[in-house]
Amino acid sequence: MEDPLAARTSKAEGAIDTSSSGVSLAPPALVPLDVILPSEPLLLMGAGPVPIPHAVARANGVVINHLGATMERVIENLKSMARYAFQTRSDKVMGVAGPASAAMEMAVTNLLWPGRRCLCLKTGTFSGRLGEMAAAVGAEVTTLEPETGQPVTAEVVRHALAKGRFDVVTLVQGETSCGVLNDELPEIAALARAHGALSIVDAVVTLSTMPLEMDRWGLDAVVTGGQKGLSSIPGVSLIAFSERAWHTIERRPVPPTHWCFDAMRAQRFWGAHQYHYTAPVPGILALYEALRLVCEEGLEARHARHRVSSQSLQAGLEAMGLRLFIPAKHRLNSVIAISLPDGVDSKVVLAHMSRKFRVEISGSFGLDIVRVGQMGEQCRSHNLFKVLYATGMSFRHFGVKLDVSEGLAELERALTREQEFE
């Protein structure tokens, strides 16, 4: 039998060196990042992350002290800009170090605890995730799940609320996993409020890409990630709590289970500029620039850009011969789900697209679809033509009969009907 210790005495990678230097492991084989990264950046046209503007990339390369006067000014300005994006006057707006799921977890772990009842409106993977998080903190979770690809209707929610008592209702505005839009979000939030329940809303792909009015619609906790509609980097997310939600947080009978996501602790940094944990400075600066660009563009213009871009692309995809998974009435503009044509393997098609056209779109979480993102910088005409051409030509390469020229012509017609689009 091989002596397991004998292998450790070689000078191979990871070997234990018994010399007295105080270093017991040798470094691994070194590969410079340039060798790993593609020589030309791929165009990210999937469900996120999305391309970032130069100002955001530049800010992401800067580190300053996370406490002190300069950072205070950054945080105060960032919060004002975030309030505009969320359309809220609430001063309980804060960043979260982590992916959008971290902001979701912050909402859930602060507003729910054992014994609290949660109605989870599940239209796919991400809204389902809110229910999983609620169950993990010991809340009693009831899940309402319409047929795949259908939104949750206010009628169904009204019925569920009439049958039981709930403290929190969770839902997503745009369900990226299948491309459906919960277009009755304002009505559902109003029902939750009338019932005495708080609403937790995932606006990860919809914040700044389509209308969302936190105060006017009476939403209680709204979360978003950096890397989607805001066109910032992944890793710093945003959350906004209503006064009602904050009132609940201040009166929790038990402390939150997650120290990092404890909203009262986080407010020390985001409200009083005191230490909570070391803030992810470059990511916050990147988010600052991303929000500045959102404010500079203005929400109405930004929403219009996203709508025109996505609907023109949808028209191009359909004119080419592809079928869209969600009927127009409930279709999310921020992420377009394309039904996979018969007989093709999405993984193979996407790998070909990436290799040959340097364009990436997303696969799925188990459904027979592929997904194209329409968030932030993805919604520029040069990117639309590239992704449409790459998608059409890649499917065609694997035998799908598509009229790529007609698709491109339709995209051009749709865009030129909108004079202002760039």
Ligand X SMILES: Cc1ncc(COP(=O)(O)O)c(C=O)c1O
Q: Is 47 in the site for ligand X (CB under 6 A)?
A: yes
Q: Is 109 in the site for ligand X (CB under 6 A)?
A: no
Per CB under 6 A, the list member of 101, 248, 267, 394 interacting with ligand X is 101
Per CB under 6 A, the list member of 59, 71, 85, 100 interacting with ligand X is 100
Nearer Cβ to ligand X (172/319): 172
Nearer Cβ to ligand X (271/363): 363
Q: How many residues does the chain have?
A: 422
Rounded to the nearest whole angstrom, what is the least distance from the CB of residue 103 to ligand X in the complex? 8
Contact flags string 128-167 toward ligand X, x per CB under 6 A:
----------------------------------------
Rounded to the nearest whole angstrom, what is the least distance from the CB of residue 202 to ligand X in the complex? 5
Per CB under 6 A, the list member of 105, 167, 202, 262 interacting with ligand X is 202
Sequence-distant (≥ 6) Cβ neighbours of residue 252 within 8 angstroms: 110, 113
Per CB under 6 A, the list member of 17, 57, 67, 99 interacting with ligand X is 99
Q: Is 172 in the site for ligand X (CB under 6 A)?
A: yes
Per CB under 6 A, the list member of 111, 141, 204, 369 interacting with ligand X is 204
Locus of tokens 């070194």: 30
Rounded to the nearest whole angstrom, what is the least distance from the CB of residue 123 to ligand X in the complex? 10
Nearer Cβ to ligand X (101/110): 101
Nearer Cβ to ligand X (195/228): 228
Rounded to the nearest whole angstrom, what is the least distance from the CB of residue 379 to ligand X in the complex? 16
Q: Is 321 in the site for ligand X (CB under 6 A)?
A: no
Rounded to the nearest whole angstrom, what is the least distance from the CB of residue 8 to ligand X in the complex? 39
CA proximity to 324, closest of 121, 149, 86: 149
Question: Which amino acid type is present at position 84?
Answer: Y
Per CB under 6 A, the list member of 225, 229, 256, 280 interacting with ligand X is 225
Going edge to edge, which strands form the sheet with 117-121?
Answer: 93-97, 236-241, 221-224, 198-202, 168-172, 117-121, 140-144
Segment contacting ligand X by CB under 6 A, of 78-86, 95-103, 313-321, 353-361: 95-103
Q: How many angstroms separate the CA atoms of 258 and 106, rounded? A: 8
Counting residues that bind ligand X (by CB under 6 A) gives: 13
Nearer Cβ to ligand X (77/125): 125
Rounded to the nearest whole angstrom, what is the least distance from the CB of residue 97 to ligand X in the complex? 12
Rounded to the nearest whole angstrom, what is the least distance from the CB of residue 410 to ligand X in the complex? 27
Reply yes or no: is the peptide bond before residue 211 cis, omega within 30 of 0.
no
Contact flags string 226-265 toward ligand X, x per CB under 6 A:
--------x-------------------------------
Nearer Cβ to ligand X (126/246): 126
Q: Is 126 in the site for ligand X (CB under 6 A)?
A: yes
Q: Is 383 in the site for ligand X (CB under 6 A)?
A: no
Nearer Cβ to ligand X (110/170): 170
Q: Is 391 in the site for ligand X (CB under 6 A)?
A: no
The pair of structure tokens assigned to 159 is: 């019925």
Nearer Cβ to ligand X (56/205): 205
Q: Is 176 in the site for ligand X (CB under 6 A)?
A: yes
- Name the site residues for ligand X (rule: CB under 6 A): 47-48, 99-101, 126, 172, 176, 202, 204-205, 225, 234
